[in-house]
Amino acid sequence: MTCNSSGLSFQKQLFVFQYITSGVSVKFVRCVAMRFKGNRLDVHEISNSRAFQRTSSLRGRCKELWMKKRVAVVFGSRSVEHEVSIITAVQAMNTLDEEQFEVVPLYVSKESVWFTGEALKTMDVFRDLVSLPGKAQRVQLRPFAGKWTFAVQAPRRGFMSHGMDVTPLAVDVALLCNHGTNGEDGTMQGMFELLGIPYTSAGVTGSALGMDKVFQKQLFAAAGISVVPYVSFSRRTWRSSPDDCLRHAEQRLQFPMFVKPANLGSSVGITRATDHDTLRYALEVASQFDRKLLVEQAVVDHREVNCAVLGNDDPIPSACEEVFSSRAFLDYDTKYKVGYKTTAESNSGIQKAQARKVPANLGDDLTRRVQELACRAFTTLDCRGVARVDFLIDGSGAVYVNEINTIPGALSFYLWEAVGMQYRDLLTKLIDLACKAFEDRRSNVVSYDVSDLLRLGSKGKSGTKNV
């Protein structure tokens, strides 16, 4: 890497160099920077200085010319889908285009501790989570926005050294591979909004709505999208008046029914109820996972069909898949308890876990209908990036939207491969969409001059207070 620094002051040359080598060890930065100046340098002081912040345009040009885009692959977090998230992330990290992107793993443990390091790019380190902290570097979030928010902690070296060194960890964009709560539900998206870092997946609103099965059904119904009959109530209501809840469900719905936590995915906490006793048991199981409980009318003799959607404002559908199972429904074991590989091969991961046909044998008319409904569901919840919409089709051909997954397992790469888009290209497209959505949000007015309002209030008009 070379940088034509002629015409720049030493200070700006040094700032440019520090930007380009962000993430490289402090020792290396100091060593090379000695070519510009003959004394020791405090790199952390430089990166946090006002002068460094004023060179944003210069840093931007250097990034375009010399630097790969640094992609933070974020995964894990406090969720019962923690392990599924690890699989999605490892597959993505081993598939991203190395010529365009530099992968920065950002793993969030079940205790909400953040880690990074090369070891996190393989499945091996996650087989023993107890020993993981000794094989990775702990990450801290510093209290200011932008790509310099993250920093790596490492013990100081040397016989007399004490304490921790903190090295900036620059991030250009976040590829979110979280599944379930505290990641797919709008919480992680809100954090990156505040930090000012582009991220893949739906925004805060779309992610929150996509996680809550009750709210999304209400919105789908309002948009004229068919959903199965259902009832819902809170965990508090269930525990205080279980008989009333059972009576309400049995009056509104017919057996068999499905009982679900409203804010989980991967079929966690879902039970099929066939009578009064199993309904009581199913509600008790679901109440362990969420404060909101959902009871749905089962669709008898149905077909399960999925379709992914990709885009921001003008989404496109993928091929459709039909999923088969010998069990009454696709539970967690059926979906995931099969050996996974760390690369997205045609027979790896999610494709080995269950029988599926891609593309589904639906016929042209039904395929177009499913794809159209998938895009409508996507836009109804204001999603972006990639999502997967799951459908139920009964014997008469009626199509019901079952739910939407705003960060689907394996990012649904296999549905896009069926229409000619390879997983590597899908990841590149997701990063591009994330950056475009970020630039679109940056065009919003976020400050308003209230001086006129203050002057109006100072005149003592009715309903205002003099200022």
Q: Residue 456: which pLDDT band, with cuts at 50, 70 and 90?
A: low
Torsion of the alpha carbons at 196, 199, 204 and 210, rounded to the nearest 10 = 180
Query: Does domain 209-213+301-441 bear CATH number 3.30.479.30?
Result: no
**Residue 379 · residue 316 · CB < 8 Å:** no
Q: Rounded to 5 degrees, what angle do the CA atoms 47, 52, 54 make?
A: 150
DSSP label at 177? -
Q: Which class does domain 229-297 fall in? A: alpha beta
Give residue 186's pLDDT: 96
pTM (whole model) above 0.75:
yes
Q: What is the pLDDT of residues 269-280, one digit of tens each?
A: 899 999 999 999
Q: What is the pLDDT of residues 167-203, one digit of tens each?
A: 889 899 999 999 999 999 999 999 999 999 999 999 9
Same fold, 69-201 and 229-297: no
Q: How far, CA to CA in Å, does 112 sit from each of 236, 244, 266? A: 27, 38, 21
* Helix or strand run (H / E) with residue 283: helix 276-286
Give residue 452's pLDDT: 65
Q: Please say if the pLDDT value at position 206 is more than 60.
A: yes
* Extents of the domains making up the chain: 10-66, 69-201, 209-213+301-441, 229-297
Just give the CATH number of 69-201: 3.40.50.20
